Each structure stands twice: as C-alpha cells, then as structure tokens.
Amino acid sequence: MPLRGLPAYVAVGVLAALAQTAFLLYFSAPLAESLHDKLATAEEEEETAYWAMSLAAALYGAAAGVIFGLVAERIEPATAAFLFFIGYSALPTLKWLPTPHGVSYLEPVWWREAVYGLFLLYNMAAVLSSFILIRRGVLRAAVAVVALAAGFFLFPGFTLPEKYASVVPELKALQGLALASWALFWAVMAVGGRLVMPIRRVQRGASP
C-alpha cells in the first residue's frame, strides 16, 4: 500500500536528508577535517558517530517533510521546494560562511543564533505573506524577491578572527559544498513531492 498524505512527505524528507548527509560526509567532511588540523584548534578529537548523524538527519528531514507537505498542498512541489531553497538554504548559506568544528566567529553564540533564527523567520514571513496577500503571479514573485533581497542586506554579518584570513578560500569551498548539498536536498523534495501528488489527486477525485 503506497504512502499517502503527510506520511509520504515525511518519507520524502527523510530520504532527502539522508542523501544530503551522505553528500556532506563524502565531499565536505574531508575538507572540514583538514581545516580543523590546519588551524590547530586546541580541542580533543571526537569520534564521528555516523548513526547519530543519520538519526539527526532523519529527524530534521521528517520535520521538513511535514512543513513542505503543508505548503505543497497549496502550490506546486517544485515551486515550494524552490522557495524553501532560496529562503531557508541559499540565502543563509551565502550570507554567513559555514565554519568547521573548532572555528568560531567573534560574535557570541547567543547573538549568532538569534540573528540566524530571526533571518529564517523573516524569509519565511516574506515568502508566505507575498503568496497569501498577492494574487498576481508576477507581482507576487517580484515582492518576494525584493523582500528577500532586503533582508539579506539588512541583517548583520558575522566576523571571523584575523588568524582565519588565510583559510577563507577553503571556507568558501565549504560554503559552495553546503549550497550544493541543500540544492540536492530540495531537488529530492521537489521530485518526491511531485511523485506523491498524483496519488493524492486520484484519491481526492475518487471521493464523493
């Protein structure tokens, strides 16, 4: 019996998250470990728990699948995936360099987490409000793009210590890999969501 409704989107989300995790482990992890050693951070080596990483990925993939499913019921899955990719993945990844374990910005953690969280909330509000309040497709997209661009430039950035200036190219490489991993994640969500939709539509059409 095929999965239907939100359980199907949860399954798609788990698959997307596991695919993203595999991508990061294969491409990003070696570079991150090399940077960690190059910067000689005074931290104890930690054993990688792949089962924990997979479990965490499955959990956030399931949560993303639920949210994605609710949005994809109202618009095409490909459109929903594109909006999530831009607002929740591409813009945050491009705004702040993703740093490996042991590399930290000058700003305190609480400040960075608060700014990051508010940035994600702002992006979601910008996209959803434009789709709820505006009916014309072109105008809706234009307003969303302007709002997202404004947030990208208005929210503050984070400052890397000067000693990390020599590894900025490597950090930018990590940034590119992170962006590629999110593109993979949302591509799987878009394709999986589209495959789920015909089942849902047939089910609706069969109901009295």
Instruction: Tell me how far apart the alpha carbons of residues 43 and 102 are, in angstroms, rounded to a whole number.
Output: 7
| Count of domains for the chain | 1
Say what the pLDDT of residue 199 is: 47
Residue 168 lies in a domain: yes
Residue 196 lies in a domain: yes
**H/E stretch holding 114:** helix 109-133
Residue 151 lies in a domain: no
Domain with 10, as residue range(s), is 5-40+48-106+158-206
Instruction: Tell me how far apart the alpha carbons of residues 195 and 38 are, in angstroms, rounded to a whole number.
Output: 45
Residue 143 lies in a domain: no
Task: Convert the pLDDT of each residue in 102-138 to its tens digit.
Answer: 677 889 989 998 999 999 899 888 877 777 777 776 7
Task: Convert the pLDDT of each residue in 80-108 to its tens digit.
Answer: 888 889 888 899 999 988 877 667 788 99
Q: Percent of the chain scored above 70 by pLDDT? A: 85
Residue 111 lies in a domain: no
Instruction: Tell me how far apart the alpha carbons of residues 7 and 51 are, in angstroms, rounded to a whole number.
Output: 23
Residue 74 lies in a domain: yes
Residue 146 lies in a domain: no
Residue 157: HSE in the Cβ half-sphere, 13 Å Cα cutoff: 11
Instruction: Tell me how far apart the alpha carbons of residues 128 and 131 are, in angstroms, rounded to a whole number.
Output: 5
Report whether pLDDT(1) > 90.
no
Instruction: Tell me how far apart the alpha carbons of residues 168 and 174 are, in angstroms, rounded to a whole number.
Output: 10
Q: What angle do CA 68, 74, 79 make, to 5 degrees?
A: 65
Instruction: Tell me how far apart the alpha carbons of residues 126 and 83 are, in angstroms, rounded to a whole number.
Output: 11
Task: Convert the pLDDT of each residue in 180-200 to its tens digit.
Answer: 999 999 999 999 888 876 544
Residue 67 lies in a domain: yes
